[in-house]
């Protein structure tokens, strides 16, 4: 059979579901190709995957069109045999492995889709089921929240591979023994934490202090900051800046994408995410502006 894959979002990030579908069909002896509308008469099946709600669904052609992904239906699932296989890394020429050790989360943050989509935290895959490189990017949402996730981290330490938990670790779960364990991991990127509300400020400070104490390296940790109310978020950002942490700010976008971020949310995010300006220009002296000539946003620092 000839199978075509279609990545609706076309972001810089690889689509894990398509990688798994590709691997499974290759094992079945099928021929895999990226979707091309001009060749659609050749396809026995087209798999189209959409992760985000804000990307546009296109009309596709082919004998059999299968659409899936969180952007289509948050409860859509791959068949177990596909979901628990090893992805096809050749599809995006990745030089790192990619996957989830756990799915779900123990928390119910109001702004987050994970509890609705994945439910309570549970084991998903063993690292060795999808590890094919000496480094791995792991997309777990709260790996420290279950014993299985921690056992997998112990395994990662034994394997000696480099990893990045790119969705961030939960600072509230990092006590002295966890910080000690995390300091033994070889990190592909700085450890990422999230500080999405004022309640997380103290736990973030404690976690960072413990990680620094145990010399978890690289020592410049990276903090995700959600911006709903810009005034409230600014307090968190100033606090984190005072702890000499690198931040990445994300304006809140609701799952239906019905409320675009406000100008205040976007301005604050731009200030935080422009590393050179964030380090050298205080918020009070930063003046974002819109450039009417190009119709694009531009930012500058005053003074
Ligand atoms: S802790 Fe993170 S993954 Fe869990 S519900 Fe909150 S934002 Fe979502």
Say if residues 206 and 171 touch (Cβ distance below 8 Å): yes
Query: Ligand 1, residues 103, 116, 117, 170: which to mutate, most atoms within 8 A of Cβ?
Result: 170
pLDDT for 50-74, tens place per residue?
A: 998 888 888 998 899 999 998 888 8
Query: Ligand 1, residues 115, 122, 250: which to mutate, most atoms within 8 A of Cβ?
Result: 115
Distances 44 to 20, 195, 239 between C-alpha atoms, Å? 18, 47, 56
Nearest CA to ligand 1 atom 2: 141
pLDDT for 147-185, tens place per residue?
A: 999 999 999 999 999 999 999 999 999 999 999 999 999
Averaged pLDDT, 23-34: 98
**Residue owning tokens 């145990």:** 214
Q: How far is the CA of 38 from the centre of ligand 1 (A)?
A: 42
Averaged pLDDT, 208-226: 96
Domain boundaries, the chain: 1-94
- From the CA of 108, give the closest atom in ligand 1: 5
Nearest CA to ligand 1 atom 8: 112
Cα angle, residue 132 at apex, residues 129 and 138 outer, rounded to 5° = 70
Q: How far is the CA of 104 from the centre of ligand 1 (A)?
A: 9
DSSP letter at 174? -
Q: How far is the CA of 43 from the centre of ligand 1 (A)?
A: 39
107 Cβ closer than 6 Å to some ligand 1 atom: yes
| Better pLDDT: 221 or 292 | 221
The pLDDT assigned to 52 comes to 86
What percent of the chain stands above pLDDT 90?
84
Task: Look over the chain and give the mean of its residue pLDDT values, rounded to a whole number.
Answer: 92
Distance (Å, rounded) from C-alpha 233 to C-alpha 251? Answer: 10
The pLDDT assigned to 289 comes to 60
List the structure tokens of 133. 């490189």
**Residue owning tokens 């940790």:** 221
State the pTM of this model.
Answer: 0.91
| Better pLDDT: 11 or 138 | 138
Q: How many CA atoms lie within 13 A of 30 on its CB side?
A: 18
Nearest CA to ligand 1 atom 1: 107
Contacting residues for 123 by C-beta, under 8 A, at least 6 apart? 101, 102, 146, 148, 149
The pLDDT assigned to 256 comes to 73
């Amino acid at each position: 059979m000839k199978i075509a894959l279609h990545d609706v979002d076309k972001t810089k990030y690889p689509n894990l579901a398509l990688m798994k579908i590709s691997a499974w069909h290759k094992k079945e002896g099928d021929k895999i190709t990226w979707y091309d509308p001009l060749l659609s008469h050749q396809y026995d099946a087209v798999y189209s995957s959409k992760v985000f709600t804000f990307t546009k669904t296109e009309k596709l052609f082919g004998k059999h069109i299968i659409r899936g992904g969180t952007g289509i239906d948050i409860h859509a699932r791959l068949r177990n045999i596909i979901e628990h296989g090893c992805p096809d890394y050749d599809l995006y020429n990745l030089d790192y492995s990619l996957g989830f050790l756990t799915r779900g989360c123990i928390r119910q943050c109001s702004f987050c889709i994970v509890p609705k989509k994945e439910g309570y935290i549970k084991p998903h895959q063993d690292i060795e089921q999808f590890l094919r490189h000496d480094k791995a990017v792991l997309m777990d949402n709260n790996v420290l929240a279950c014993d299985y996730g921690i056992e997998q981290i112990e395994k990662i330490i034994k394997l000696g591979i480099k990893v990045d938990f790119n969705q961030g670790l939960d600072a509230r779960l990092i006590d002295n023994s966890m910080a000690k364990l995390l300091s033994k991991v070889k990190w592909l990127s700085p450890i990422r934490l999230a500080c999405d509300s004022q309640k997380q400020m103290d736990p973030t400070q404690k976690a960072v202090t413990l990680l620094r104490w145990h010399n978890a390296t690289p020592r410049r940790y990276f903090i995700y900051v959600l911006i709903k109310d810009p005034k409230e978020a600014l307090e968190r950002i100033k606090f984190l800046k005072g702890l000499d942490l690198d931040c990445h700010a994300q304006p809140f976008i609701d799952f239906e994408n019905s409320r675009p971020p406000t100008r205040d949310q976007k301005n604050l995010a731009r200030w935080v995410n422009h590393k050179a300006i964030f380090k050298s220009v205080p918020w009070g002296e930063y003046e974002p502006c819109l450039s009417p000539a190009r119709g694009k946003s531009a930012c500058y620092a005053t003074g």
